[in-house]
């Protein structure tokens, strides 16, 4: 479930900068696993100095609207390869991650459009951490079931 949330957040972040996604999607994307997520969580919690209480919330897919959490999610999305501060989100990579390894992705379908909408809606909000957080929360709120399903593998 946590991996799905991370994937969903990543998808939202990719959408946050849809204008730039054409710079990214030509690179092959390797779908990340639950083990990858666990590794990224530990790395990012240490990087942003998240306290034990926050880390426990993250494990339950709870992401408070605070500066530490904003940068934690930005870090997670960067580790997944969904987000770069200079370019924003890569909607295509988020969609591929949500679809899962070996799945065919239709970049004109509803899921892709939801991801792109969240990315575009939040692409100009504050700093890089805030953009990543708000776009990620947008996508998770719109597609939580899909996100949760994608990381149960």
Place of tokens 């679809």: 99
Residue 108: CATH number of its domain: 1.10.238.20
Identify the three-state secondary structure at position 82.
coil
pLDDT for 131 equals 93
Q: To the nearest 5 percent, what fractions of the chain are helix, strand and coil?
A: 65, 5, 30
pLDDT for 98 equals 81
Query: Do the Cβ atoms of 119 and 112 come closer than 8 Å?
Result: no
Cα separation, 28 vs 147, whole angstroms: 21
Domain that holds residue 86: 2-150
Domain count within the chain: 1
Question: Is the torsion defined by CA of 108, 19, 9, 139 positive or negative?
Answer: negative
* Token digits of residue 114: 């939801």
Cα separation, 82 vs 7, whole angstroms: 9
pLDDT for 27 equals 63
Q: Mean pLDDT by 10-residue block, N- to C-terminus, for the chain (153 residues)?
A: 49 43 60 90 97 92 94 96 90 86 82 88 86 90 61 46
The model's pTM is 0.77
pLDDT for 115 equals 87
pLDDT for 20 equals 42
Burial class (CB within 10 angstroms; exposed 0-12, middle 13-18, buried 19+) of 145:
exposed
């Amino acid at each position: 479930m946590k991996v799905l949330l991370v994937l969903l957040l990543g998808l939202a972040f990719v959408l946050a900068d849809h204008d730039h996604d054409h710079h990214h999607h030509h690179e092959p994307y390797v779908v990340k696993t639950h083990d990858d997520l666990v590794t990224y969580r530990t790395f990012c919690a240490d990087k942003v100095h998240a306290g034990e209480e926050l880390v426990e919330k993250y494990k339950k897919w709870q992401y408070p609207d605070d500066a530490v959490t904003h940068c934690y999610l930005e870090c997670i999305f960067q580790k997944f390869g969904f987000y770069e501060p200079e370019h924003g989100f890569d909607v295509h990579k988020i969609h591929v991650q949500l679809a899962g390894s070996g799945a065919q992705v239709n970049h004109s379908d509803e899921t892709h459009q939801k991801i792109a909408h969240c990315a575009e809606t939040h692409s100009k909000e504050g700093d890089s951490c805030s953009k990543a957080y708000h776009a990620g929360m947008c996508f998770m709120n719109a597609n939580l079931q899909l996100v949760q399903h994608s990381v149960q593998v």
